[in-house]
Amino acid sequence: MTGRAVRQWLSKQMARLRRLGRALSGHEEDRIRVVHGIVLRLPIPYATKQRVLRWCMDGILESPRTDLRTQMRVAQADWNARGERRLNGLFSTDEVLEVPPSQSPVVTFILVTKEKAHLTLLSLESVLLFADVPYELIVVDNGSTDSTLAPSCASGTGTCPGNVMAAVLRT
């Protein structure tokens, strides 16, 4: 190789390293995909690829390993806290959840609940926010002792506002 060819080769390798560095500085999932893609293309035996991949995940990425259960517990605690705040905010005001009436629903949402009024509220609000087709909403309270259903729906008569039907199952 001539001096010029060496400089070109080095320049090309440096560009690759910079591109790889940018890819590895992104979100953790992106980094994992990049490392996984590179390691799988290495011309080495499969068992060695697995060891290299493990080493990369542990050493190069330096991402703290938290198990999935821990992540789920944290996410659930955040979701519960959000629901509790929202439920307390709803009860402290005169706000009413309005379900738009629908003459011919395309989708039926059936929400079966027992306790967990705050999570029921978040589920209802999610339907109200994201349902983009005509729908009916059936809320079945399976014997809750908390404030899961609003007083007007808790009678079990199915006379909730809009197109919400409520059924209270007593066990």
pLDDT per residue as tens digits for the range 144-159: 777 765 543 544 444 4
Other C-beta atoms lying within 10 Å of the C-beta of residue 153: 20
Q: 138: Cβ–Cβ under 8 A, 6 or more apart, which residues?
A: 108, 109, 110, 111, 164, 165, 166, 167
Residue position matching structure tokens 């029921």: 120
Per domain, the residue ranges of the chain are 3-60, 66-171
The residues facing 112 across adjacent strands are 140
pLDDT at 34 over 80: no
Q: What is the DSSP string of 100-134?
A: PP-SS-SEEEEEEESS-HHHHHHHHHHHHHH--S-
Q: What is the pLDDT of residue 168?
A: 45
Q: Which amino acid type is present at position 88?
A: N
pLDDT in tens, 83-115: 899 888 888 887 777 777 778 888 888 888 888
Where residue 116 falls (left for φ over 0; alpha for ψ -120 to 50; beta otherwise) is: left
Q: Which of 72, 58, 62 is nearest to 25 (CA)?
A: 62
Q: 38 or 122: whose pLDDT is higher?
A: 122
Higher pLDDT, residue 50 or 17: 50
